[in-house]
Structure 1
Amino acid sequence: MRPCIMMECGAQRQTHDMLRHTVERLWHPFTLGHRGADLKTYRLREHLAGLCCPGNMFTCQVNGHLGGMRVLEDFFVTLLSGFDIIHASVEGSRGMSLSKPADVCNYTGYYVLAHTRPFLGWEPSPTSLRGVALNSALAATSTHSSAEYGFNGAAPETASRSAFLLRDVDGDDGTDATVMLSGEANVETVQSNAESSVYTLAVPFTTHVEGLVGQSCLSHLVLRTPVMELLRNRHECPDAVQKCLDSPEALKMFATLRRAGVKPEVITAKTLLSATQSNAAWMSALGIL
C-alpha cells in the first residue's frame, strides 16, 4: 500500500474513532446511576456545552426537529419525565473496517428505558412497557437480569453500578448481553429477578455526526429514534397518551412546560390535548411563550 493511502486511511480511522467517542459521550450522563426527571441531576446543559461546538457552530436535528442544543434538551426532558435511561450502547467496534465513507459519520445503537414515574398521566407498573404483540416488524424478546443494569424496578435514586462505560460492550467482559437491532426494529426486554419481572424497552437510534477532530467536539448531529412510536404501542399505554405522543404540538407544549419548571406529574395528556385544540393564550398568560 502506498504511503499516501495509508496516511489517508489513518486520518479516516482517527476521525471515525473521535466521532464514535462523542456519540458515546452523548449518552454518558444517563448511565452514571443518577435517576429523576430533572435535567440538572444529570448536569446535561454543562455536558452538552463540553460536547458540542459553541453557539451557532453547532446544529442539531432530532426526529426532524431542527435547532441547536435546545432541541436535544427538549428530547431528553420529555423522555426523562416518565422514564429512566438505565443502559445505552453504541454498536460496533473501533476495530471494524470502514467499508464505506459514510461509516465515518454514521452510528447506530440502542438505549433501555424503565418506566419509573407517571408520564402524561400514565402510571408506571412492572408491565407498563409490555408490547401489544410481536409481529414480523418486531425483533425477538430478550431476557436480562435486573442486576445487569443496577435496576430493581423501584425507581432507585442511584444504581449499584454504571451500566455503560465509555468503551465497547460487545466483548467478553461487556456489561450486557448483545441485543441485535436492525433498522427501526423494536426490542422488548424483560428484566427478571426472584421477586418480580419488570418490562423495559430497548429503543434503537441512528446518528449522523460531524465534528472538529482537533477539538473533539460536534458541529452537527442528526438523531433519529422511534421512541414515541414504540411507547404508543405499549399494551398499557392509555388512549389519551397515545394521542398525545402522536401530536407534535402536544409534545412541544409538554417540553415547554417542563422547561418552565412545571413538575411532570401534574401534566396530563388530556390537559395537553385540550390545550392544543385552543389558542396559545393560556401559555402566554403563563409567560412561557
Structure 2
Amino acid sequence: MYILGEILLCLCLLFGILFEARIKKAEKKVRRMGECEKYCLLEQMLNPFGFSFIPEQKVMTSTRDAWQREFGYQALFDETAVYFNMVFDAEPIYFDYENRTWMIELWKGQYGLNTGGEIGVYRADSLIAPQERKTAIFKSVPDQELPFLSARLYKRERNLFCIRKKHWWLTGFLVGEYCEPEELSMKVTIMFPDRKMVQSFTEGLLELGYRECDLCFCGRTVGFLFDRPYSVQSHKRNFRRVRWTQLKNRVFCKLYRFVTKKFTETEDKILFLYFFLPGTVRHMLVSQKNKCQKWRKKR
C-alpha cells in the first residue's frame, strides 16, 4: 500500500513538472512572436473554420467565402441550437421581394465560449407561404445581391464591437466573454439595393411587431435596435436544458480566463492555448452553429 502511494505521488509530481514545463514553453513562444507573425498565424488558424480576426476590436468574424455558405438556413438550426451549447435570441424577418421570399435573421447571445451577434441574409427560390416558412430551406444570397450590413453589439451599456461590411452573414464573436442573451442589444443597419426592397423589408418588420417609430430611414438604409425579440424563442421552451448549457458555458469561460491569465490581449490568449492545448482551440474555433449545420446535413 505504501509503495503504491509513493508511486502515485511520484507520478503526480512528474505530471506537474511536465505540465509546468509545457506552460512555460507555450508562454515563451507567444512572447517571442512579433505582431505581424501573430496575426498571420491567427489567420491560418481561423480561415479553415470560416473566420477571420479583427485586431482593432479583438473579435472573430465570418469571412464572405466561409464554407458555411453552402448550408443556407433552416429554422431547425435554431430549434436544436441549445443542444450544441448555443443560447441566443433569434429574430427571423420574412418578406417577399421580386417573386422570392427573403429572410434576414438576427442573433445575439452565448455561443459556447463566445459572446456574439449575427446578421444572416437568405432567400428562397420562390414565394413561400407564411405557414411553410418554418420548414423551408433558404439559400445564402449571391455576391451580386449582397446588402451592406452594420452590427453594433452592446452588453448592457458596454460597446463590444461594431462591424460594417457587404456580407451574407455578418458576425462578431468575443472569446471568453459570458452573457445572457437579454443582456445584449444590437444596433442593426441595412442598406438595400432599392427602395422597393426597403418597403418590403419594413413591412416584414411591422408584421413581426416592430413599430414604425422604432425604425430609422435614410434613403435605401433601414436602422433599428434588436433588443427584446418579437419572435417566439425556441430556447424558452426548454428551461432546464438552457440553464445547464449556460452553466457549462460560464464555467468554460472562467477556465479560459484562468488558464490565459498571464496575457491581456485576445490574440495572445488564443495563441497561448494553441501552443499549450491545441485541441481546446480547435473546439473553440469550430463554432457551435457549424456543428449544428454539419449534424443536420448528415441527417
TM-score, normalised to structure 1, is 0.26
Higher strand share: 2
Structure (1 or 2) with the larger CA radius of gyration: 2
Higher helix share: 2
TM-score, normalised to structure 2, is 0.26
